[in-house]
A and B are shown apart, each in its own frame.
Chain A
Amino acid sequence: MAQATRKKPVAKIAGAAVSTRIAAQSHFRTLRLGTPLQPRIDALAKTQDWYNWAGYRAPHSLWDEELEYFAIRSQAALFDISPMTKYRIEGPDAEALLNRVTLRDVTKLKSGRVHYTAWCDDEGFVLDDGTLFRLSPSHFRLCSQERHLPWLLDSAVGFDVIVEEETEAVAGLALQGPTSFAVLRDAGFAGVEKLKIFDLADFPHDGGTVTVSRTGFTGDLGYELFVPADKALSLWDRLMTSGEPRGIRAIGYTALNRARLEAGLIVANADFTTAEHAIRADRLRMPDEIGLGFMIDLEKGHFNGRRAILEARAKRKLRYVLVGLEIEGNIPAEHAIVYHRKAQEVGLVSAAMWSPMAKRNIAIASLARPYGDTMVEDLWVEIYAMRELQYQKLMKRAKVVARPFIKLDRRTANPPADF
């Protein structure tokens, strides 16, 4: 043997960090995790109709997707939003950091308020949209569909701030529907009536604190509640108990998705492709191209993508527009191609449904400008409706309409109505 073998002994003694890491190995046995609320949801899941939400086992529906939708609109619906990605952003520079990262002016977001926002990369392409909760002057929570830790950390260079992912640590519940206020009040959340739309406040719960905000994804009166994971079950029980007389029901995503479409809200990676996931360069979208232009605040100082957005606006480089469509007939036009004069392809429907509240056939579509922007006449959608193994091809007229498709006064009424 011409050489000796260099010994690289396997270290037997591991530090505390290593043993924690080793203890976490077993996750491979459960590919779809349960959320902190899983025991309650499992108990109610009559349909056993699951989907994968960011690695969690989440219900499409629990007992009947149609009726679950009506629970949102008529009573109160409870929906587990724990899998939503959450970041804690805290420190003296938290406001400055978020002002630089996101489109809207965070200095205008008062403590105890929430706003819907979005953030872009250098090229002005949308990385994601989400809700930003200002829990205190220096403490924020950012909730989003996708994950952004490297982006947030790299953005935080030069800022005195802590960015921490807290998805697993914090459970979330959406309580939505006309009786949601009454449910909360009856559950003992004293003072919850003071919350106006996009307000948030802390309430005691089970020896801890729950943060309640008057927000939601349904266009209805509703609240979202965030609580440490270990208090999630008791919060669920508290709401279910007090809500029982008012018809509270747990629901799955299909129902929620209908409500959000009626409200005209968009979903990342359903209605647009987020920049960090877009493999094809032409799938990238600027805020102005997905209806989020209203967020852009050019007066607030520098923010990511500002330069590119300004340039795109000035040089008319915006290529797409996201619109609401009203389509004749009642057949949902999901993923239908949009035509101009029944001939030229100009876009695609990303979400569509017959709206029970509006009694209209509605859709969200992404069109290539100028269609949907300055040219809104003579638009058509080609619907391929599969009926008993045959496509029924329908060419239906589509009209560009304003979003939201429904506007419910109870969503914003103050004080909230006691249904």
Chain B
Amino acid sequence: MTGQNGDHHAKFRAFGNGSRKNEERVVRKDWAKMKAWDAIVIGGGHNGLVNACYLQRAGLDVLVVEKNDWVGGAATSRELTPGFLYSNCSYVCSLFRPEIMRDLELPRFGLQVISYEGGAVFTRDGDYLANYRDHDAHRREFARFSKRDAEAYDRYARDVTRQCRFIQPLLMRTAPDPTSLRPRDLGELLYLGKKFAGLSAQEMALTLRFWTMSISEFLDEYFETDVIKANFALSGIIGTALGPMSPGTAYVLLHHYMGEVDGSVGAWGYARGGMGAVTKALAASFKASGGTIRIGAEVDHVLVQRGKAKGVVLAGGEEIYGKLVVSNADVKRTFLKLVEEKELPDIFLRRVKNFKIRGSSGKVNIALDSLPEFPALPKDSPVYRGDMHFTDSMERMERAYDDWKAGRWSADPFLDMVIPTTLDPTMAPPGKHFMSCFVQYAPPKVNGREWTDADRDGFAESVIAQIAEYSPGFRDRIVHMEVRTPREIEAEVGLTEGNIFQGELTFDQLLFNRPVPGYAQYRSPLSGLYMCGSSTHPGGGVMGAPGRNAAAEILRDLAKSTSHMSPAHDVI
């Protein structure tokens, strides 16, 4: 056990079987000789890998420990049935920051993102409302339902774009601490203030309201048609334990809009080869710059000595030392499971316990032996290559949320359904398809008790039944199906309650409140222990910004250069 710097082979060796006692002996004996990594990143999700990449490229010797036998966290592609790759958690890509793709040379390591072609909401009267990429087709499509709404879209797009332009630059910055008098925080506050003051009076007013309005009320100010509102409202609820009528959901919509595909802000795309392509490229980039990954290495706890993180202890008892530890896990898992309570200040613990991570969604991943048909949708419609939904009214969407509040999965769920194989033939055998259904709402517990397998089947049935209503014969096309309730997501990915954003995106948990007040700058009360997951600013989605921003803070603490990190792209 005397791995040397640079001996990567040794690092990959399965350590692990020695008893804890043995390890301790080793520690005592060979403390000086023990390999201490410069940094250990707990969790090989996209943010953990982004963080590890940046640290490694800054000259640190970084180890990523991942509990699963594969990396990727919630951005994976898994062959769960022969020939089919499943993007079995996250399924579309837009938020991932292009600055990071470029810094970490992800295209060189195989990442390719393909824009997709809009989508549609099926209506119960046998029609659908499509979103087309072409501006005029988009207008004409809306005009089928309402001429007024068709012409209202430009103003809506303008106002949302203005908000995105305000928020986007904040993604790649550390949130200021409003209680601090440090020049840096004051500077950041000033920056925020200046950005705000730079808005016109109209924009300021809109910004203030935007952060607190429900998406339903916001849309009411632009559109009159229910299905058109439902079409936009879905971005206000995805990943959130709120209904479209809950205040604060307008901001959630923004969170989904501020992504881009190659400069096309708000566009969404598929990662070629599934979402695992993102983390695969990250892992490859990391290894190419000399980083080390250990898979099948679940961290039992963080090793803490005298208030300082010293490394991690794996489930098997193996101790790995590091000068610092970065956790990609959510803030609850990190501080309530991986660190002993006694090591943490009460007020911090209280706030971590109060952090809201709410399981609200599930996933049904399906392998199909042929492309499903939707009689309402012409066979040559581009919508097959976009995202499809069946929730055509605000009331249905909100009622789906009422079920969640009552501790049930939605009887009439909201589905975000995509068939990536229509644009990415690598994910299934020719002519066959992979379909991803993101489902809301699914509670973390059913009527207060744990999910059972029967519950899971019932949940899946609610999804399949909905699709089958619009696609006769759908059931017969199913080759294989993976059903993921919050229980499965938590068990496999390690996300508390299976929450995809590692914490609600409500105002009390954004910016300097994320994850908890006083620790919104990626540091923790323990020196040497950092956070880099979606629990931190700016939040969830396959964005990479938390991982990057955390790396910047760590390097600052180490007084290392961050010249290898691109600043946020200009918003002009």
Contacts and interface: CB of A to CB of B under 8 A. Distances in A.
Query: Do A and B contact each other directly (Cβ–Cβ < 8 Å)?
Result: yes
Contacts of A8: 124, 396, 412, 466, 469
Interface stretch (B107-115, B454-462, B491-499): B454-462
Interface stretch (B149-157, B290-298, B336-344, B420-428): B149-157
A28 B124 CA distance: 21
Interface string A14-43: 110010011011111101100000000000
* Chain B CB within 10 Å, residue with most, of A18, A22, A28, A54: A28
Interface stretch (A146-154, A177-185, A231-239, A317-325): A146-154
Contact of A150 (B155, B165, B202, B457): B155
B151 A1 contact: no
Contact of A25 (B144, B148, B412, B470): B144
Nearest to A149: B151
A2 B454 contact: yes
Interface in A124-182: 146-150, 153, 165
Interface in B171-228: 199-200, 202-203, 222
Contacts of A149: 147-148, 150-152
Contacts of B150: 149
B420 to A, nearest CB: 21
A153 B148 contact: yes
A180 B279 CA distance: 67
Interface string B119-163: 000001111101010111101110011011011101100100110
A6 interface: yes
Contacts of A277: 154, 158
Contact of B408 (A3, A29, A55, A284): A3
B107 to A, nearest CB: 29
A343 interface: no
Contacts of A284: 200
Contacts of B566: none
A276 B412 CA distance: 38
Nearest to A55: B136
Contacts of B141: 27-28
* Chain A CB within 10 Å, residue with most, of B136, B380, B396, B409: B136
B378 interface: yes
B378 A25 contact: yes
Contact of A29 (B380, B411, B412, B446): B380
B139 to A, nearest CB: 7
Nearest to A121: B202
Contacts of B457: 1
A276 B396 CA distance: 32
A147 B137 CA distance: 15
Nearest to A148: B151
A52 interface: yes
* Chain B CB within 10 Å, residue with most, of A147, A148, A278: A147
A270 interface: no
B411 A10 contact: no
A12 interface: yes
Contacts of A301: none
A389 interface: no
A123 interface: yes
A245 interface: no
B194 to A, nearest CB: 14
* Chain B CB within 10 Å, residue with most, of A11, A12, A21: A21
A9 interface: yes
A386 interface: no
A268 to B, nearest CB: 13
A374 interface: no
A281 interface: yes
Contact of A147 (B144, B151, B470): B151
A5 interface: yes
A281 B207 CA distance: 14
Interface of A: 1-6, 8-12, 14-15, 18, 21-22, 24-29, 31-32, 52, 54-55, 123, 146-150, 153, 165, 276-279, 281, 284
16 contacts: A2-B408, A2-B452, A4-B411, A5-B411, A5-B412, A5-B461, A9-B469, A14-B126, A21-B127, A27-B137, A28-B137, A28-B382, A55-B136, A150-B148, A150-B151, A150-B155
Interface of B: 124-128, 130, 132, 134-137, 139-141, 144-145, 147-148, 150-152, 154-155, 158, 161-162, 165, 199-200, 202-203, 222, 378, 380-382, 396, 408-409, 411-412, 446-447, 452, 454-455, 457-458, 461-462, 465-466, 469-470
Which A-B residue pairs are the 5 nearest by beta carbons? A55-B136, A1-B458, A6-B411, A281-B200, A149-B151
